[in-house]
Every structure is written in C-alpha cells, then in structure tokens.
Amino acid sequence: MKLHRILALLTRHLYLYRRSLPRIMEIFYWPFLDLVIWGFITLYLGRAGGHLPGMVTFFLGALILWDMLFRSHQGITISFLEELWARNLMNLFASPLKPGEFLAATLLMSIFKVTCVSVVMTLCAAAFYSYNLLQVGLWLIPFVFNLVLMGWAIGVFTTSLIMRFGQEAEVLAWSMVFLFQPISCVFYPMEVLPAWLRVLAMMNPAAHIFEGLRSVVSAGAAPAASLAWAFGLNGLLAAAVIAWFYQTFAYCKEQGLLVRVGE
Amino acid sequence: MVTPVLQVTNLRKRFGDFTAVDDISFSMKPGEILGLLGPNGAGKTTTIHMLLGLITPTAGTIRMFGLDLREHRETILSQVNFSSTYISMPQSLTVEENLWIVARLYGLAEIARRVDLVLEQLEIADLRHKVTRHLSSGQLTRVTLAKALLTEPKILFLDEPTASLDPDIAQKIRSLLKEARRSSGVSILYTSHNMREMEEMSDRIIFLQRGRIVAEGTAREIVARFGQADLEEVFLKLARESRHRT
C-alpha cells in the first residue's frame, strides 16, 4: 500500500465537494432534515403519553447512530459511483493503484462523511431538542466504531455488486443498507421481532449495538456481551466482504467488465 | 540485440464462445512506434486493455521491461500510460486538478513544473482552470493526452488519440508524439482508423483481423504484400473480408 496513491484518490473526492451543492447537501441538509422530522415525532410521542424511559435518547440517539452506519456505507458506494459516472475507472486501474488502495481511499472518504454528518446531527440535536449524545458515555466509542465497520462492510459488498452488474445495480448504493434496518432493531428492541426474524437479527452486528445502547440508556448496564457479539460478527463480515470484493474484482477483469462498467 | 520493452507471446482472450484475441505474439523495441491496425472488432482495444492489466488474458504472457505483467503490475504500470478517445476524466474537477491527481497517483516529483510543461506542450494552458465538464471533445482529448504524457512513461498506449481533433491540432499532436519519442525514447503502441496518420507515425504496423495477426511489417511492406495501392486499400479489403465472414 502506498500512502501517496490513497491520498491522491482522497483528494480527488474532496475536490468534488468544493463546487457541488448536491454533495454538500448530502452531508449537511439531509441529515439535518432527518433529525428535525424524528425530533418532532419523538416530542409528539412523549407528549401523547409515552412512558418509555429515556425516549428522546432512544430515538434521537438511535437515529444519529443509524445515520453514521448509513453514511459510512454511502461514503464507500458513492465514491465508487463517482468514478463510474466520470468514466474514470480505467484511468485508475490502468495506473499503479491497487484495489486495496482504492478501498482504503473510499474508507477514508467514508470517515470524512461520517465525521461531518455526526457533528452536524449532534450539534442540531443539542440546539433544537436539548439532547446530548455524549450522555451515552464512553460506550459511544465502541458503538460508533462497530457501526462504521458494518457500514463499510455493506458498502464494500454493494460496491462489488455495482462493479459486477454495472449501473443497473446503482440504486443499491443508497438502498442496500435499508435491507438491514428492520433487523437492526434501531428504534425497537429485538424482543418485538418474531422468532424467525430474531434469528436473523442475532446475526446482524448493528442489532447488538442498538440493544447495547438501550441497555446503557435504560439500565446503565455495561453492554459487554452486545459489544462482544458486534465485534465478532463484524470481524467475520469484514473478512467475508473483502474476500468477496477481491474475487469480484478478479472476475470483472476476467470478463472485461471493468472497462465496460459505466458505459 | 536490443531487448524489447514489450513482449507479447501467444496472447489469447475468449469471452465465452467469442474469441476477441487469438494467439497473437509481437514485440516492441525501445523508442519504436508500433501501429495496431484493424477493422472494428479486430481485437485492438481488447489487446490494449490486456496490456494495461484491465482485462485478464485467457492465455499467453505479457512482459514489459523484461518483467511479467501478472507478477510486477505495480512496477510496470508506473512506467506506462495511455490515452483513448473512449475514456474521460472526472468532470467536476478542473483540468489542473485532474492533472495534479494523476501526478500524485503516480508519485511524481516537481508536479507543478511537469503540469505547466505538459499544458504548454499540448497548447492547453488556457484551459488550466476550466472545469472538465465544460471542455469540447477535442479539448478533452488533449487533456487525456496531457494525462498520458505527464507521467513521462516509457511505453505509451494510444487508442485513436486524434479521432476527435481537427486536422491542425491532430498534426500538432503527431509532431509532439514524435518529439517525445525523440527526446525521451518513449515507445508508442498506436491505434487509428486514419491510414495516412498510421503511415506517417508508425515504424511498423501490425494488422489484426478477427483477433489474429494477418500482416506485420512497415506500411510499404504490407501494401506490397496485399498488392494494393495504399494502406487504406489494404484496410478496406481486410475489413470487407472480415464482415463477409461474420
């Protein structure tokens, strides 16, 4: 891995934000809008007689954390799509750039997006709803780390699919992560799921993170078991999708898809 | 004997039942301009894509600078570059930004000087701050050529590099490429559908038809071998034969 190549690619993506309003909106406006809508829903539920302990923390906290997962996924998939739309993949992969360096650059881009979105949402939540995400305490660090890791894993998987199937799979760059939302137990506990869906949720690292968040908020309990599950499952998921990415990359080179994708 | 900078041996590419490139072998000497000629679908672009490591060959070997492309991809590709009518550059970036990114990708030193030089050489210094999206196709072709020349490659693959240029600019590009060959000794593999350009540029020509090499030599040798008036006549004869068989 050569750092100068990773940074070159990262710079290329950061340049895009200097003169693109839609891309800036993606980081600032849409997360803000999400927060406003869910904030009002939370207030309404609270006034309508909701008696859940820490309701605001549940909903707004969960929303901000879910958005971190979503943006980390999008940071990877959109970076790949940018190259596809610009018909730049040939320029990149005919250069000394390695697939691993390409991935590393998209991961850094994803960190940039997650950081921007998190700061925007956290500040807005504090300003409009007097909600402080940091009240979750130090547990927030492993929670966020695991959510970002899962977002990367889904992002790399989705990128492989777009590379393999071309622009007809483009919509997955935005939608893939939502396939995981029902079994991520973002806004409700795992126990409300039917038994068969609970089995799927148990295999989803995000579900353990949100369960952990609830146990911290409602009971102040240390979510060690939830975190252990999340770390373990994320490790397996990451290993599987990286292997899948390299396999797909080799297949695309074999089939000549790398030079046709985006046409 | 001069060691070739590029050695292709028994290269083959099959996509399912279709054979795009069928057991071709050729080499290129340092500083040589080698023309790759053939009708559409002859396998020229697939060959270049394999040489750039973008498509994995079904069989055969590609060696550049004495190294196998499969094992030394990074070393080889850092000394190689390409330009094609069929590629683009990131549209939202300015010409200068795009060239800086390429320079960083290849780990170049003295980037500012090199970017200035290549912009001057291609007479596009006035486009430096222009967003790539707003370039005409001819300007974009020159920018992709600038990208290719920026890294001072030892081998340059050019796929129809003058296809969208007016005759004046096309002539300037040809002069520039010949000058680059003279000053830096770059070897160039060149495809074009402009036969006069092929004759002017190429030291040697490889004629591809349906993935196979059907003729190899100087333009004069090929014309003589097929008993035609010029290279264009040879091209038309082979292209029509190729279509009749399809």
Mean pLDDT of chain B, nearest integer: 93
Tens digits of residue pLDDT in B181-214:
999 999 999 998 888 899 999 999 999 999 999 9
Rounded to whole angstroms, the Cα distance separating B187 from B181 reads: 7
Top mean-pLDDT range of A59-68, A167-176, B145-154: B145-154
Does pLDDT of A52 surpass 70? no
* Interaxial angle between packed helices A3-16 and B95-105, expressed in degrees from 0 to 180 and rounded to the nearest 10: 160
Beta bridge partners of B35: B190, B205
Among partner residues B52, B74, B106, which is closest to A98 by beta-carbon distance? B74
Beta bridge partners of B13: B21
Mutate to test the interface with A, among B64, B102, B105 (most CBs of A within 10 A): B105
Give me the half-sphere count of Cα atoms (radius 13 Å) on the Cβ side of residue A211.
24
Query: Is B23 exposed, middle or buried, given 0-12, 13-18 or 19+ CB atoms closer than 10 A?
Result: middle
Least confident piece of the model among B76-80, B83-87, B202-206: B83-87
Q: Determine the distance in angstroms separating the CA of B186 from the nearest CA of chain A, rounded to an integer.
A: 17
Cβ neighbours of B84 in A, within 8 Å: 90
Cβ neighbours of B92 in A, within 8 Å: 15-16, 19-20, 86
Q: Which residues, including other chains, have CB under 8 Å from residue B59's CB and lie 6 or more apart?
A: B10, B11, B12, B23
* Residue A145: C-alpha distances to residues A140, A253, B137, B162 (Å): 8, 33, 45, 50
Pick the CATH number of B1-79+154-165+186-246 from 3.40.50.1820, 3.40.50.1100, 3.30.365.10, 3.40.50.300: 3.40.50.300
Name the strand (E) or helix (H) holding A166.
none
Which residue has tokens 């390429």?
A: B102
Tokens matching residue A115: 């950081």
Rounded to whole angstroms, the Cα distance separating B236 from A235 reads: 60
Q: With bands split at pLDDT 50, 70 and 90, how would you rate the model's confidence at A21?
A: confident
Q: Give the count of domains, chain A.
A: 1
Whether residue A205 is contained in a domain is answered as yes
Q: Looking at residue A56, what is its pLDDT?
A: 66
Cβ neighbours of A257 in B, within 8 Å: none
| Chain-chain contact of B49 with A250 (C-beta, under 8 angstroms) | no
Residues of B with CB under 8 A from a CB of A: 13, 15, 46, 49, 52-56, 73-75, 77-78, 80-82, 84, 87-93, 97, 100-102, 104-107, 131, 147
CB A52 within 8 A of CB A59: no
Q: Determine the distance in angstroms separating the CA of A95 from the nearest CA of chain B, rounded to an integer.
A: 6
Q: In chain B, list all ranges with CATH 3.40.50.300.
A: 1-79+154-165+186-246
Does pLDDT of B246 surpass 80? no
Radius of gyration of chain A (CA): 19
**A169: domain range?**
3-255
Whether residue A62 is contained in a domain is answered as yes
Radius of gyration of chain B (CA): 18
* Residue A167: C-alpha distances to residues A12, A161, A179, B20, B128 (Å): 21, 10, 19, 24, 31
Quick count: other Cβ atoms within 10 Å of Cβ A217? 22
Tokens matching residue A155: 């992002």
Q: With bands split at pLDDT 50, 70 and 90, how would you rate the model's confidence at A263?
A: low
Whether residue A263 is contained in a domain is answered as no
Q: With bands split at pLDDT 50, 70 and 90, how would you rate the model's confidence at A180?
A: very high
Rounded to whole angstroms, the Cα distance separating B208 from B201 reads: 18
Which is more confident, A5 or B161? A5
Tens digits of residue pLDDT in A111-159:
999 999 999 999 998 998 888 888 888 889 999 999 999 999 999 999 9
What residue of B is the nearest CA neighbor of A259? B54
Show the DSSP H helices in A168-220 as ranges. 172-179, 195-202, 205-219
